[in-house]
Amino acid sequence: GNSVTQMEGPVTLSEEAFLTINCTYTATGYPSLFWYVQYPGEGLQLLLKATKADDKGSNKGFEATYRKETTSFHLEKGSVQVSDSAVYFCALRSSDGGATNKLIFGTGTLLAVQP
């Protein structure tokens, strides 16, 4: 079945450090891939997305490239800020099964950025 695997957290970085959060997936067909972010006490917000192979999603300095050959969608940011501290979720939407908004999420990675 479809699944998403994320690196375990927490990830603790100093401000202005480089961030990578690994995400790999298993899916049939051509899924769409997403990164969502959850700040404390809030729901999830879409950070970026990619809908086909080699697409690069980007937003607020974060980037992720849809790599079909390695089934990966790693999240990167060149210089993190304290305000980036949150839980990051990798997710996929399968292309099978017709119209659906069903997302399959990874377990989430807690990022803590220290000043």
Partner 1 sequence: KAGVTQTPRYLIKTRGQQVTLSCSPISGHRSVSWYQQTPGQGLQFLFEYFSETQRNKGNFPGRFSGRQFSNSRSEMNVSTLELGDSALYLCASSSSSLGTNEKLFFGSGTQLSVL
Q: Which residues bind partner 1 (CB under 8 A)?
A: 32, 36, 41-46, 49, 51, 89, 93, 95, 97, 99-108
- Those residues whose C-beta lies under 8 Å from the C-beta of residue 58, and which sit 6 or more positions away, are 48, 64
Instruction: At 37, list the tokens.
Output: 């972010």
Tell me which H or E stretch contains 20.
Answer: strand 19-21
- Find the shortest distance in angstroms from Cβ 46 to partner 1: 5
Would you say 41 or 115 has its CB closer to partner 1? Answer: 41
Nearer to partner 1, 36 or 74 (CB): 36
